[in-house]
């Protein structure tokens, strides 16, 4: 039996076919999601991608099980999607469309960061750590929880949506792409940090980050802010002093509640902002319940962009073998 891992985001649809080796794909395929992102079209393109992988691997006679990680808040364990801001899907029964497109290929659908977290647990930075929290800070913020060796999905498959933990309340709280206000993602997600900095710097705030971006405030990135902060830039340091305690506090609360042995931190935002990451960890250590910090390992994600592919394929094998 082969397993296909699918990583479906707002920008790319990535697919990989795995045999017995959980981290070594037999074939890999990547395409842009593009403008045609209707659920029916995406379901057909997932099947077409698997056909491409099977042909490339010369595995036409073998059964393929399919694991799909999607950038969405799920509504159930049967393919229901409550909200996918980046795909512009809401209240969608995606399962029947997958049934129709994948025909005789059994499938499972997970939140993309759940799949990434499971991949890191089984084959990455948290291997053999049966109590793990994984938090990925990229364009947005997502999380996954492994408790006693099991991925925690919750009653309706929407557990661990740590990016939508509230850190501010009221009409002045920052709006989030999920449709709510005050989510930590709307403050510390990479896209939000970048948009805020560009807006404030374009309006006249002064920062060395603009010089690092070639003098154009509309080109400033979180990486520029981090580099400027490392050199003592007042604007960048003030921004980090505001945002790091918010994110660190959310992480501290998660560690306090779940007492993991491993906290994985990943995502493009954190990988490009080492000083900000350091400030976040300091804020976590200040806010966490002290006994929960004993023995805690804080690790960088190890599988990179392949984590979702690996995790989705492993979840497909696990669920469909039961």
What pLDDT is recorded for position 65? 95
DSSP state of 160: T
Sorted by where each begins, the domain ranges of the chain are: 2-119+305-321, 127-301
For the chain, give the mean pLDDT. 95
Residue 48: Cβ within 10 Å count:
15
Look at the domain 127-301 and name its fold: Nucleotidyltransferase; domain 5 (3.30.420)
> Which tens digits make up the pLDDT trace of 161-180?
999 999 999 999 999 989 99
Q: What is the pLDDT of residues 247-291, one digit of tens each?
A: 999 999 999 999 999 999 999 999 999 999 999 999 999 999 999
CA nearest 131: which of 263, 24, 229, 310? 263
The C-alpha atoms of residue 251 and residue 255 are separated, in whole angstroms, by 6
Same fold, 2-119+305-321 and 127-301: yes
- For the beta sheet containing 80-84, the strands, ordered from the edge strand earlier in sequence to the opposite edge, are 73-74, 80-84, 89-93
Domain 2-119+305-321 sits in which CATH superfamily?
ATPase, nucleotide binding domain (3.30.420.40)
Distance in angstroms (rounded) separating the CA atoms of residues 237 and 233: 6
Question: Of 28-42, 93-107, 270-284, 308-322, where does mean pLDDT reach its minimum?
Answer: 308-322
């Amino acid at each position: 039996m082969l397993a296909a891992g699918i990583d479906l985001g707002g920008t790319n649809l990535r697919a990989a076919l795995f045999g017995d080796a959980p981290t070594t794909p037999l074939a890999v395929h990547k395409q842009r999601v593009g403008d045609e992102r209707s659920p029916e079209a995406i379901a057909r393109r997932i099947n077409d991608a698997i056909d491409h992988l099977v042909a490339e691997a010369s595995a036409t006679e073998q059964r393929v099980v399919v694991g799909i990680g999607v950038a969405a808040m799920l509504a159930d364990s049967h393919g229901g999607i409550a909200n996918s801001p980046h795909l512009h899907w809401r209240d969608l029964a995606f399962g029947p469309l997958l049934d129709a497109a994948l025909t005789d290929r059994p499938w499972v659908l997970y939140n993309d960061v759940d799949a990434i977290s499971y991949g890191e647990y089984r084959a990455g930075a948290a291997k053999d750590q049966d109590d793990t929290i994984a938090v990925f800070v990229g364009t947005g913020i997502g999380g996954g929880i492994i408790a006693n060796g099991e991925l925690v999905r919750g009653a309706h498959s929407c557990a661990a949506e740590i990016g939508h933990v509230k850190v501010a309340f009221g009409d002045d709280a920052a709006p989030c792409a999920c449709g709510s206000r005050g989510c930590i993602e709307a403050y510390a997600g990479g896209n939000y940090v970048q948009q805020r900095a560009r807006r404030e710097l374009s309006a006249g705030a002064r920062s060395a980050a603009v010089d690092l971006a070639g003098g154009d405030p509309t080109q400033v990135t979180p990486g520029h802010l981090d580099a400027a902060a490392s050199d003592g830039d007042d604007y960048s340091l003030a921004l980090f002093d505001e945002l790091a305690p918010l994110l660190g506090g959310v992480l501290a609360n998660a560690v306090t509640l779940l007492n993991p042995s491993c906290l994985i931190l990943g995502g493009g935002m954190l990988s490009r902002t080492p000083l900000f990451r350091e400030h976040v960890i300091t804020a976590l250590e200040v806010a966490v319940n002290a006994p929960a910090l004993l023995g805690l390992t804080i690790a960088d994600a190890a599988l990179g962009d392949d984590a979702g592919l690996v995790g989705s394929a492993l979840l497909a094998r696990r669920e469909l073998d039961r």
